[in-house]
Amino acid sequence: MSEVLTQSLWITLLSMGLVFVSLILLAGLMSLMTYLFRDKEPASDSSEPASTSDAENLVQAAAIAVAVALAQQGQSTARPLPAPPTALVSAWQLGMRTRQMTQKGEMKRRGK
């Protein structure tokens, strides 16, 4: 191979290696920062309520949310938009008129 091609391949290999090394380094730094700065208290992941009164409150909140959603749905004034009126000139007619005007302009320029 020619010397220029060999040098370009080495430069490409070196630059790709640097990119991958920097990506791995950044991933390592992010995981280290996540490990160092995370909350020390374990979060309670229990999905069960602590007492029966909490369960009753959740049921009441869900019932209220459903009632509000149904009331808003009944009061909605949304309706389909009417179709826009048809254009006075169709796209085909506009294209033809534009072409005719262009041709007439070219004839006037040629005639001068």
**Contacts (Cβ under 8 Å, ≥6 apart) of 55:** 49
pLDDT in tens, 90-100: 888 889 989 99
Task: Say yes or no to pLDDT of 112 above 60.
Answer: no
Dihedral sign for Cα atoms in the order 52, 53, 55, 56 = positive
By three-state DSSP, how is residue 88 classified? coil
pLDDT in tens, 20-67: 999 999 999 999 999 998 877 765 555 554 567 888 899 999 999 999
Give the residue extent of every domain in the chain.
1-36
Note the pTM of the prediction, 2 decimals.
Answer: 0.35
Q: What is the DSSP letter of 99?
A: H
